[in-house]
A and B are shown apart, each in its own frame.
Chain A
Amino acid sequence: MDIKIQDLHHTYPSGVHALQGITCEIPAGDLVAVVGQNGSGKTTLVKHLNGLLKPDRGEVFIGTWSTEKQSVARLATRVGYVFQNPDEQLFTKSVQQEISFGPRNLGYPEEKVQELVEQALCITDLTDARETNPYDLSPTWRKMVALASIIAMDTPIVIFDEPTTGQDAASIDRIGEVVELLRGQGKTLLTISHDIDFCADHFQRVIAMAEGKILLDGPAGQVLGEVEQLANTYVDPPQITRLGLELGLEHTVLSEGELLKEIRKMI
């Protein structure tokens, strides 16, 4: 499902002009990482996609729906949002209940609810924890429960707000697998993340924001090589990209494999 954002402005009651004219289109199936320093407007932007915030000026379209005219409940059928802090999202007594809540709430037939819940449990590795109270799990696994409960809603658009925060290597790999799986299903995926290496690994398009505006928008390989521009968004390029730049490689590299390929050409 396509997302279309036209000249979006938002000012908080405190007077902070958090978004200052955002225009962009995200076609169905795109994988987009939104990067930028704390306070650059990333979260404010994505909260407009599921209607948690409404535009002060401009418009946001999810498919053909303008978010201004839709309730958050209705938009939830199209846009899933995984919160940065799972504790803001979890509230039931068991993992299974938690994950069932979303799809049941969307009014899917019970059979489909069961199927979606089983799938979500399986891809997040939570099958054995289905009876557990989410608050008896470690923060790492609570994050997986939050993720699963959104995946189970089977929305065409899914937003991950800082999915790798506080996660270890195994868990980041697991989240990467979930992203790849959803990509295979043709979903439109957005992430907000400071983990630029994670962004480079899984998201083809990068939008860099600074002070409520889009500064750079393009393929990851292009945007993440723009060191000087990126510095204005307070984002460091991925580690491997930085190494490639230091070595003066001809092309921007995003992975160890790409790096070695470029180096082999030089020797």
Chain B
Amino acid sequence: MALIDIKNLTYQYPITDRPALRDLSLKVEENEFLAVIGRNGAGKSTLCYTLAGFVPHFFRGDLQGTVRVGEKESAESTLNEWVLQVGLVFQNPFNQISGSKFTVYEEIAFGLENIGIPREEMHQRVEDIMSRTGITDLGDRSPYALSGGQQQRVALASILVMEPRVLVLDEPTSQLDPIGTRQVFQVIKSMSGRGMTVVLAEHKLEWIAEFADRVIALQDGKIILEGSPGEVLTSPRLDDIGIAPSRYTRAARAAKEEGLWPAGQPLPVRLEEARQGFQRIIDGH
């Protein structure tokens, strides 16, 4: 049985005139790393909110269909129960900071306090996650006196520390530099390796190609492409739905149009794949 099972989900926010998600069905297996792509407004964030229970419990609105995670149906659960199994890292980290804590260390401990974790274990988990997300030095700082990138790491740590069964991330690296981005992706991957199921909304296709098991593409609240990163991220249909393929894919396509790209060589998404293809051109194969 899939860990996450969404069936025929149609959802419309209050006071809007069209649904944000339309008749969407999706299964995610335990321990899978699923990436969600789509242009802004396609429904990525709404799907994240739905998995995290914010839709419909917080946003209200009109929901049809069912959302199941593990044994629980979203409609029959309270948000308090739901957040114990699904953690959401917000797109804008500022929106996630509790506002009730004076230091980063306390901010990260906040969720654990709420569920009554013993003090010793709490210290241990907070310190471990701060070290893994690279924010040990920020422990005594105010969560508000941080750069966007630092705040984004704090937001991530404060969810990871809860060790949810499902981790949902809405563009978690938008304000990070490339090194920070790699570090965050590695942390996410290591959580996935420890049995966490990951759903990630992201624009950075190269990273998806490196880390995700499967990709879905949304347009107007529907899934219109689904498959392995190699299939979906080089699909010619990406352009039609407003997603720019990676530069490697674009360069290979341009070479293909000129008849240069080697026959049988798949279009690349990542650097190494592109290097192989172009090397073959140079070597005259």
A interface residues, Cβ below 8 angstroms from B: 14, 36-39, 43, 84-85, 87, 138-140, 162, 165-172, 194, 196-197, 234-236, 238-240, 242-243, 246-247, 256-257, 259-260, 263-264, 266-267
Contacts and interface: CB of A to CB of B under 8 A. Distances in A.
Contacts of B251: 240, 243, 256, 259-260
Q: Which 7 A-B pairs have the closest CB atoms?
A: A169-B244, A38-B149, A239-B247, A140-B40, A168-B39, A234-B179, A256-B251
A243 B275 contact: yes
Contacts of B248: 239, 243
Nearest to B15: A136
Contacts of A242: 271
A182 to B, nearest CB: 22
B80 to A, nearest CB: 28
Nearest to B170: A166
A263 B282 contact: yes
Given A239-B247, A240-B251, 10 more contacts: A39-B147, A84-B148, A87-B92, A87-B94, A167-B203, A168-B243, A194-B176, A239-B271, A260-B251, A264-B260
A243 B271 contact: yes
B258 A260 contact: yes
A256 B149 contact: no
Contacts, number: 111
A218 to B, nearest CB: 20
B160 to A, nearest CB: 19
B150 interface: yes
B254 interface: yes
B70 interface: no
A36 B40 CA distance: 27
B76 interface: no
A235 B258 CA distance: 32
Contacts of A169: 39, 242-244
A260 B247 contact: no
Contact of B147 (A14, A38, A256): A38
A267 B284 contact: yes
13 contacts: A38-B177, A87-B94, A138-B40, A165-B175, A169-B244, A234-B177, A236-B178, A239-B206, A240-B251, A247-B275, A260-B258, A260-B260, A266-B282
Contacts of B171: 166
B40 A247 contact: no
B28 interface: no
* Best-buried of A85, A167, A242, A260 by chain B (most CB within 10 Å): A260
Interface of B: 39-41, 91-92, 94, 145, 147-150, 171, 174-180, 203, 206, 242-244, 246-248, 250-251, 254-255, 258, 260, 271, 274-275, 278-279, 281-282, 284
Contacts of A236: 178
A38 B278 contact: no
A168 B149 CA distance: 19
A125 to B, nearest CB: 13
B90 to A, nearest CB: 11
B5 to A, nearest CB: 28
A95 to B, nearest CB: 17
A194 B147 CA distance: 14
A85 B247 CA distance: 27
Nearest to B250: A256
Which one of B92, B174, B176, B247 has the highest number of Cβ atoms from chain A below 10 Å of its Cβ? B247
Contacts of B206: 239
B53 to A, nearest CB: 22
B177 A235 contact: yes
B279 A139 contact: no
A125 B77 CA distance: 43
Given A85-B148, A194-B178, A263 B94 contact: no
B259 to A, nearest CB: 12
A76 to B, nearest CB: 23
Contacts of A266: 282
A153 to B, nearest CB: 24
A238 B278 contact: no
| Residue in B39, B145, B243 with the greatest tally of chain A CB atoms within 10 Å | B39
Contacts of A260: 251, 254-255, 258, 260
B275 A84 contact: no
